[in-house]
Structure 1
Amino acid sequence: MGPLYGRQVGMSKKRSLRMQSRAGAINIKLAIFAVVVILAAISAGTFLGTLTGRGRISDIWTPPFEGKRVARILLLGEDDSGARTKSGGLSDTIFFISVNLDTKQVAGISIPRDTRVDLNGYGGICKINSALKLGGPSLTCLAIEDLTGIRPDYYLKTNLDGFKKTVDLVGGVDLYVEKNMHYDDNWGNLHIHLKKGRQHLNGEDAMGYVRFRHDKLGDITRMERQQKFLRALAKQALTPQNLPRLPKIIDSVWDNIETNLTTKDLITLAKLVGELEGGQIKAATLPATPEMIGGISYMIADTEKMPEFIQELFFSQVLPSLPSIEVLNGSGIPGGGMRVADALRAQGYNVVQVENADSFTYKSSRITGNKDGVTGLDNIGRIVNSAHIEIRANPSAKADVTVIVGKDCVVAAGDG
């Protein structure tokens, strides 16, 4: 597969990307929100397995995103082309998002489905939407990694049937259709007949609206239309009259998604997205230009702009300053303090010293903030497997935070 553009990206000169700023931020927020907001209601029942039976009790004890502080998630909308051949469909919508739980920021890339990629032995040169049909979400994740240099940690795929059912269950969506849309494809079972003006779209109408492609700019205009519809869908899903329908809506969504995200991941994502302000969201469309190659219309990714594009979109987030930490081994187990120190350093913390505690009888670990205003103690607690957290001013302390390692923490760290 082609060249990668990973974390270490060289930038010869700083140029500001043409981000879709405020409008783009709203679009990507609602694109994510429309997929996740209904699932957020699982916190009322599914999380405990009492509403739909799909929740897992283990989710209660597992930290969201497996403890990752930055999660990369691929959102896929599958068309119904596979229904004709009894196989998987193509990706009709592709969003790649990065969620930073520490900075409370979300960045997203909208990827044209006609983007040209090389899948090598999996299918050779083809459009990226074919990756889903040829190898499912896993192969699509590999294609995204080849294209951007970043491997998605998670994926969430939904299909057209689920889309239509969800729109119908929320009572349809009111939307201004910007032009007359007429298109018939008997082979693809796609029939679009919409008139310009204010319309109330049911599931079938909505599917036609978001899939209509006969525009001068092709996929670009279609993606703008999809984002416009997702805004309206998110608004409709949150209306008071839809609250009694949530259990049925949730069942419909769950029946038509495929994901490796846990229930807690989805709740965390929905909560974060719901609280975001415009300045915390960045969104852009993959830099690409249309080109005909061998009689096939592709979008060709701009490999020269890609490194800077990825750097600015996914890695320019301002990280909070992390407190310094001293680790004191109170477990009595040789090397226990160093193992915990290594785990903290792997998360970017500055561990200034590792020493023995005042005794080796600590059964559980303790975390102490040594000055007022120190932040991030909860995250340190997750890393060292401790819920014993306190703030106690200690001007003579050698670090902002003191971690006393107990026997429970050493076992947890040793298992990793």
Structure 2
Amino acid sequence: MHHDRTSALGGTYADPASATARIRFRRALTLAAMTLVMPGSAQLVQGNKRVGRIAIRIWLAVLAVLVIGLALAMMDRQFVFSLATNAALLSLGRWLLVALAIGWVALIVDAWRLGRPRELARQHLAISTAFHAALVVGTAAVLFFASHTVSVMNGFTDTVFASNTVSKPHDGRYNVLLMGTDSGKDRSGMRPDSINVASIDAETGKAVLIGLPRNLENVPFPKGSPMRQEFPNGFDCDGCYLNAVNTWANDHADLFDSKEPGIDATMDAVETITGLKLNYYALVNMKGFSKLIDAVGGVEINVRERTAIGGIGSPIRGYIEAGEQKLSGDKALWYARSRVENDDWSRMGRQKCVMNAMVRQLNPQKVITNMQDIATSSSAMLHTSIPRQDLSVFMDLALKTKSQPISSVSLVPPVIYTGNPDYDKVRRLVSDAVGSSEAREEVQKSALVTAKLPPIEVGGEATKKDPRKANRSADLDASC
């Protein structure tokens, strides 16, 4: 039987049953789309209006919070960071996201019911059900992932930023001691392989990275410190270098009224060496740093010199060749710590190259997509005195620092002889570098301060043997 009828204009009318089926199908998809765009709108139009009104109000409240958050971020980014790192707000936000996910999924399922699936044609029912299922899975996945991210961030900040002592800027700058160490069963005590001070302008984020040789001798200590009482003429015992202060103090913990005598003694020494008052410290386990680099997919570095892999208590098992490369965590670690065929001065420059590259290349997308791996590796890698209350300050400063050149100064031959350092000169060099960083017109010059420092008359043994090597190391430090 032929159901089409000829119209007065010679056209045909479609089968009424088919037209009705298409209308029902479009209605089912429309209700789903409405629920995706504005949860509760489908119920307000065709279901339980009370539920619809409640859902829409909640949705509008969420949108209002997001708009207010964006407005605040434009006006006061640091305030938004402080809210985003608040433990109570993060805990509340986590469970609100879970509740939002469950409620939204329930509304999508109800929208499928309101589409009258029993009245749909078989093909339309399959498409509608698949579409609703995709919305359920997508919505739940996004919101549950967001909840998981909040939970990971809350746990990470609780674990790493556990200190409660807040330190205000000194002369408008935050000075943070950065130490890198390799932990292992074959090492007696913890001797930092990398010692740097990051001096950051509290307003602009302009940073100066000061590299301290681990083998500085006759390290001075401030008056009144237990180390000064034991070593009034400087740290002058056999094998007593800057990186051994931590081990010595920990081995004589009874002399200190401190939970972390080694770190406190090292901070005292670095303050006396540089003339900078330190706010905080951050101790990085280099093996954890390697895992962090792997977590973000490697780090791109301009390798300035062929660098050996291995060779410290084991055979050399390969090389990192010069040139632009993307290094894995293991290779980046060896590039930062190897000194088999180079020297300590070259290594100091390479360490700063790696840190600088990480600052430049970490971005929100990498952090979000690798949140769990970053948090896991960072928790094992980082031990710091920066409190949670100041985390928002350093997050804001990190974004400011990222957009600016980082100045650097290394206290290496021929500028400073580590066997008999002129600490008055060290403090002058540090003061000049910080002053240059603060002067806007001198920012680019200060980025090359290491390469342009004049040589001193009394050189170290390495300088006497091959002065070009020391100069090359300074150039490496400045040009990476």
TM-score category, normalised to shorter length: 0.5 to 0.7
Kindly provide the amino acid, as one letter, of the partner of residue 186 in structure 2. Answer: R
CA contact (8 A) 2:85 2:388 kept: no
- In the alignment, what sits opposite 2:475? none
- In the alignment, what sits opposite 2:349? 224
1:237 aligns with 2:362: yes
Structure-2 separation of matches of 1:127 and 1:106:
27
- In the alignment, what sits opposite 2:196? 95
- In the alignment, what sits opposite 1:53? 155
Give per-residue Cα distances to partners, 1:313-335, cap 9 Å, x unaligned: 3467879xxxxxxxxxxxxxxxx
Flag structure 1 segments of 5+ consecutive residues without an equivalent.
1-39, 293-297, 320-416
Give per-residue Cα distances to partners, 1:36-87, cap 9 Å, x unaligned: xxxx99975675464342446xx9xx9963576543211111123x5314x5
Deviates more, 1:71-80 or 1:173-182: 173-182
Kindly provide the amino acid, as one letter, of the partner of residue 243 in structure 2. Answer: N
- In the alignment, what sits opposite 1:306? 426
1:143-292 mapped onto 2 (5 Å cutoff)? 143-182=269-308, 184-185=310-311, 187=313, 193-214=319-340, 218-238=343-363, 240-276=365-401, 282-286=407-411, 289=414
CA contact (8 A) 2:308 2:340 kept: no
- In the alignment, what sits opposite 1:75? 178
Give per-residue Cα distances to partners, 1:100-128, cap 9 Å, x unaligned: 32465433311122222347538644221
**CA separation of 1:299 and 1:271: change in aligned 2, threshold 3 A:** farther
Structure-1 separation of matches of 2:410 and 2:178:
14
**CA separation of 1:64 and 1:151: change in aligned 2, threshold 3 A:** closer
**CA separation of 1:250 and 1:65: change in aligned 2, threshold 3 A:** farther
State the TM-score, normalizing by the size of structure 1: 0.53
1:209 shift after superposition = 1.0
Kindly provide the amino acid, as one letter, of the partner of residue 175 in structure 2. Answer: R
CA contact (8 A) 2:181 2:194 kept: yes
Give per-residue Cα distances to partners, 1:362-394, cap 9 Å, x unaligned: xxxxxxxxxxxxxxxxxxxxxxxxxxxxxxxxx
Give per-residue Cα distances to partners, 1:187-230, cap 9 Å, x unaligned: 379855333444442211111111122466x2222222222223
Structure with more of its chain in strand, by fraction:
1
Structure-1 separation of matches of 2:166 and 2:340:
41
CA contact (8 A) 2:299 2:358 kept: yes
1:117 aligns with 2:218: yes
- In the alignment, what sits opposite 2:246? 132
CA contact (8 A) 1:141 1:151 kept: no
Structure-2 separation of matches of 1:193 and 1:280:
29
1:157 shift after superposition = 0.4
Give per-residue Cα distances to partners, 1:132-160, cap 9 Å, x unaligned: 33333212112212322334221110111
RMSD: 4.0
Structure-2 separation of matches of 1:186 and 1:277:
34
DSSP-derived class of the 2:276 partner = coil
CA contact (8 A) 2:287 2:333 kept: no
CA contact (8 A) 1:89 1:133 kept: yes
**CA separation of 1:192 and 1:284: change in aligned 2, threshold 3 A:** same
**CA separation of 1:70 and 1:194: change in aligned 2, threshold 3 A:** closer
**CA separation of 1:161 and 1:143: change in aligned 2, threshold 3 A:** same
Structure-2 separation of matches of 1:45 and 1:151:
27
**CA separation of 1:159 and 1:188: change in aligned 2, threshold 3 A:** farther
- Percent identical among aligned pairs is 24
CA contact (8 A) 2:198 2:210 kept: yes
**CA separation of 1:201 and 1:118: change in aligned 2, threshold 3 A:** same
Structure-1 separation of matches of 2:355 and 2:324:
16
- In the alignment, what sits opposite 2:109? none
Structure-1 separation of matches of 2:84 and 2:357:
24
CA contact (8 A) 2:289 2:377 kept: no
DSSP-derived class of the 2:186 partner = helix
**CA separation of 1:53 and 1:244: change in aligned 2, threshold 3 A:** same
DSSP-derived class of the 1:182 partner = strand
Structure-2 separation of matches of 1:281 and 1:175:
16
Structure-1 separation of matches of 2:367 and 2:157:
22
Structure-1 separation of matches of 2:369 and 2:82:
13
Structure-1 separation of matches of 2:324 and 2:405:
32
1:256 shift after superposition = 2.0
1:250 shift after superposition = 2.2
CA contact (8 A) 2:336 2:347 kept: yes
Structure-2 separation of matches of 1:281 and 1:197:
21
1:260 shift after superposition = 1.0
CA contact (8 A) 2:177 2:195 kept: yes
DSSP-derived class of the 2:266 partner = helix
CA contact (8 A) 1:77 1:159 kept: yes
**CA separation of 1:169 and 1:314: change in aligned 2, threshold 3 A:** same
1:166 shift after superposition = 0.4
1:168 shift after superposition = 1.1
Structure-2 separation of matches of 1:235 and 1:291:
29
Higher RCO (CA < 8 A, seq sep 6+)? 1
Structure-2 separation of matches of 1:182 and 1:235:
25
DSSP-derived class of the 1:65 partner = coil
Whichever of the two has the greater Rg, that structure is: 2
Structure-2 separation of matches of 1:158 and 1:318:
28
